Chain A
């Protein structure tokens, strides 16, 4: 049987954070938000680039989508999620997370669920274009629908 050691290592961060000076939490958050805002344009370009590439390679009109890998779609979707903080008001972040979940379940089963992926791609494009202007209830209903689709198991279909 292995020996278990239980101990409390010094937490340097705990000491530093309590030092005099520093920032109030609200000011630290505001400063971080301002800093992040400077990355908006570049981040949206990355997001749009990833969405376009997903549509090109995995959309309904993509001729070779059957031969694409699950990992490629998953990686592109994660690229979108990484920078989707700027489009959270449009629901793009949640739709992308839902697409990652469905891609993951496809990879697990080894089978593409194109209907579910196409629904997600349509929703992502719509949300990216007008998501922020949609009534909140409509946007929530759409995201709830995507969540249900992405969490259905292959054998439930």
Chain B
């Protein structure tokens, strides 16, 4: 994964972006962040119904959607987008944002066909990095009965070198000094020794 350097140039002036969030203040924050990135064509939706109407009439280059939306949520919206939206928008990169990252929901966002999921509260740095990654990623698209979206099989190598991870279990890229003594040959042997097992 490429690292977004402070001096990296990003041009989003002509990008058409849809942001969807049912919570007005949260939608305002998201919109301000995206506008600050230089996006001139920004469409806002406060419900999935509104978003679907927009997707039916405009072509988008990026969609950023909240997950927790009453009635029809962001995951169902992406499921619909990947399968039933007009062809011009069906494969558009999608970043989902969520206030609560419970594991089952993250799997659901992935299985709905989202490119990335970002935990709220949103910060401009993290969101711009994800937009950059989404634009640069080279994953193929998979389309079958059970799934439509970017290939879900990719090796997790942690955050890019130089970037501090946001997950609790993210390890630093640099390996530090050993914390324990090396194993002796006897210890290795006892670990690897073939033993008879009575079944």
Chains A and B come from one and the same complex: yes
CB-contact partner of A22 in B10, B35, B125, under 8 A: B10
B183 at interface (Cβ–Cβ under 8 A)? Answer: no
Name the residue of chain B whose CB is nearest to the CB of A71.
Answer: B70
Contact of A7 among B21, B36, B140 (CB under 8 A): B140
Q: List 5 A-B contacts (CB under 8 A).
A: A5-B144, A11-B93, A13-B135, A17-B11, A35-B35
| B-side interface residues, number (CB < 8 Å) | 58
- Which residues does chain A contribute within 8 Å of B120, judged by CB atoms? 81-82, 84
Partner-A contacts on B (CB < 8 A)? 4-15, 21, 23, 25-26, 28-29, 32-38, 61-62, 68, 90-93, 99-100, 102, 119-125, 127-128, 131-132, 134-136, 138, 140-146, 151
From A2, A25, A77, A79, B23 is in contact (CB under 8 Å) with A79
Given contact pairs A35-B32, A36-B32, A100-B100, A25 touches B8 in the complex (Cβ within 8 A): yes
Having A13-B62, A82-B29, one finds 10 other A-B pairs with CB under 8 Å, namely A2-B144, A3-B144, A9-B141, A12-B15, A16-B12, A18-B11, A32-B35, A35-B32, A35-B35, A83-B121
Bound-state Cα–Cα, A104 to B35, Å: 33
Which A-B residue pairs are the 5 nearest by beta carbons?
A22-B11, A32-B36, A32-B124, A82-B26, A9-B91
With both beta carbons as reference points, the residue of chain B lying nearest to A100 in the complex is identified as B100
Q: Judge whether B10 and A23 touch: CB under 8 Å.
A: yes
Of B15, B29, B99, B128, which contacts A13 at CB under 8 A? B15
B122 to chain A: which residues have CB within 8 Å? 85
Q: How far is the CB of A152 from chain B (nearest CB, A)?
A: 15
Chain A contributes a number of interface residues (CB within 8 A of B) equal to 52
Cβ contacts under 8 Å, A9 to chain B? 90-91, 141
Q: Which residues of the other chain, A, contact B138 by a CB distance below 8 angstroms?
A: 8
Q: Contact check: which of A2, A12, A42 meets B25 at CB < 8 Å?
A: A42
Contact of A101 with B102 at beta-carbon distance under 8 Å, contacts A32-B36, A81-B121 already known:
yes
Q: Smallest CB-CB separation from B151: which chain A residue?
A: A6
Which residues from 1 to 43 on chain A have a C-beta closer than 8 Å to any C-beta of chain B? Answer: 2-9, 11-14, 16-26, 28-29, 31-36, 38-39, 42-43
| A6 & B33 in contact (Cβ 8 Å cutoff) | no
Whether the pair A24, B15 counts as a contact (CB closer than 8 A) is no
Q: How far is the CB of A65 from chain B (nearest CB, A)?
A: 21
Min C-beta distance of B17 to chain A, whole Å: 9
Given A25-B6, A25-B8, A39-B29, verify A31-B36 contact (CB < 8 Å): yes
